[in-house]
Amino acid sequence: MHDVPATAHQVPVVVDDTHRAHDPAYELNAGREVRPRPERPVRVDAIHEALAAAGHPLLPARHFDDQALLAVHHPGMVAFLRDGYDAWRAAGGPEVMLPDTFASPRWARGGRISASPLGALGWWCFDTATPLVAGSYAAGRAAVDIALTGAELVAAGRPVVYGLTRPPGHHAGPDYFGGFCLFNHAAVAARSLTAGGRVAVLDIDVHHGNGTQDVFWEDDQVLYVSLHGDPDHLFPFFSGFSDERGGSAGRDTTRNLPLGSGTGDVAYLDALRVACELIEAFDPATLVVSLGLDASEHDPLGSLALTRDGYAGAGAMITALDRPTLLLQEGGYAVDHLGQLATTVLGPFADRTAPRRGGH
Ligand SMILES: [Zn+2]
């Protein structure tokens, strides 16, 4: 367990530099080669510098074994992300590993995972915006360690912890990855936190967290609530509609609040108020926030128009839920604004830093 100084007005920030190893030179997006990729290490640098300058203490992530990871992801997917790149290179693949054939469920009826690295990639990966390079597995795995380190601190009594996770995770599902995401660190943390009671995951990334929704679709111990741009017009296109509300035992523990293009602060905060009421009614022991900063008016990949004031309002509203809270970084690509937005969201939490349940 880390020894966190109990200084007032600060939120512990869990960091790990391993993410730098995941920096593919390009991706393919909407028919174009995109270089540099929007999802790149400088995103973390911007947030890291701003939070350190604001006096939030930085903590190193500690390493966890695969148990919590495998409680969310298929072992074959974990093994593929660990070993697939080396197999690809051994078979003559170029430095940037991208799929070209996707196993649509409408025709890949045999469920056979190809022996070819290229074929296997099209089984586990769902898009062309998530290339792999030699350091991708280590980076994705380190983000899981950041999330679990944060979860451990919150479970030990820290009222709020922020994990500076990269790459993002919420598009990665039980047995697939994509949308810049490798492992779903928020889902791994949330599932581990269910040891202490019910957990709510509030996802305010501008894109729907299809992966998190899938992980907890039938789970009545985890409420998943997402605010996002209307998926009819925004990635991930095929999920995040308001009639998706969970299945079997998890019926009504998934709630989606899609928002029209250009939605600004007032309508956004109205929707967030609805999300917070759903969380209050669920009465979770712990809250996990998938903190995307790509609902910003400045974001090049988003469809909404939140200002800095909007983010301040969101931070205040989430703080007012008054639950032990783990914030995990998801998207956010307006690099010049990320630091300011992150410090703005963390601001209202800063008064809540006294340990409450047996912390040190
Ligand atoms: Zn996003």
What average pLDDT does the chain have?
Answer: 95
Span 207-228, mean pLDDT?
Answer: 98
How many angstroms separate the alpha carbon of residue 154 from the centre of ligand 1? 25
Q: What is the number of other CB atoms lying within 10 angstroms of the CB of residue 124?
A: 22
Q: Is the pLDDT of residue 42 over 90?
A: yes
pLDDT classification of 335: cutoffs 50, 70, 90: very high
The count of other CB atoms within 10 Å of the CB of residue 138 is 17
pLDDT at 18 over 60: yes
Q: What is the pTM of this model?
A: 0.95
- What residues are annotated to the active site? 171
- Ligand 1 centre distance from Cα of residue 193 (Å): 24
Q: Determine the average pLDDT of the residues in 191-205.
A: 98
How much is the average pLDDT of 202-229? 98
> pLDDT tens digits for 50-60?
999 999 999 99
Q: What is the pLDDT of residue 360?
A: 40
Give distance in angstroms: CA of 2 to centre of ligand 1.
Answer: 30
Please give the distance, rounded to the nearest whole angstrom, from the Cα atom of residue 235 to the centre of ligand 1.
Answer: 8
CA distance 346 to 58: 14
Closest CA to 211 of 172, 182, 249: 172
CATH hierarchy code of domain 13-62+140-352: 3.40.800.20
Predicted confidence (pLDDT) at residue 346 exceeds the cutoff of 60:
yes
Domain residue spans of the chain: 13-62+140-352
Phi (first) and psi of residue 118, to 5 degrees? -65, -40
- Per-residue pLDDT, averaged over 252-278, amounts to 98
Q: What is the pLDDT of residues 75-108, one digit of tens each?
A: 999 999 999 999 999 999 999 999 999 999 889 8
- What confidence score (pLDDT) does residue 9 get? 64
Per DSSP, the residues of 157-206 read T-SEEEE--SS--TT-BTTBBBTTBSS-HHHHHHHHHGGGS-EEEEE-SS
Q: Residue 353: what pLDDT?
A: 59
Q: Under a CB-based contact definition with an 8 Å cutoff, are residues 177 and 126 in contact?
A: yes
pLDDT at 6 over 70: no
pLDDT above 70: residue 271 = yes
pLDDT higher than 70, residue 155: yes
Residue-level pLDDT at 106: 87
pLDDT for 1: 45
Q: Where are the alpha helices (DSSP H) in 91-184?
A: 117-124, 136-155
Mean per-residue pLDDT for 340-345?
Answer: 98
Measure 294 CA to ligand 1 centroid, in angstroms: 6
What mean pLDDT do residues 166-193 have?
98
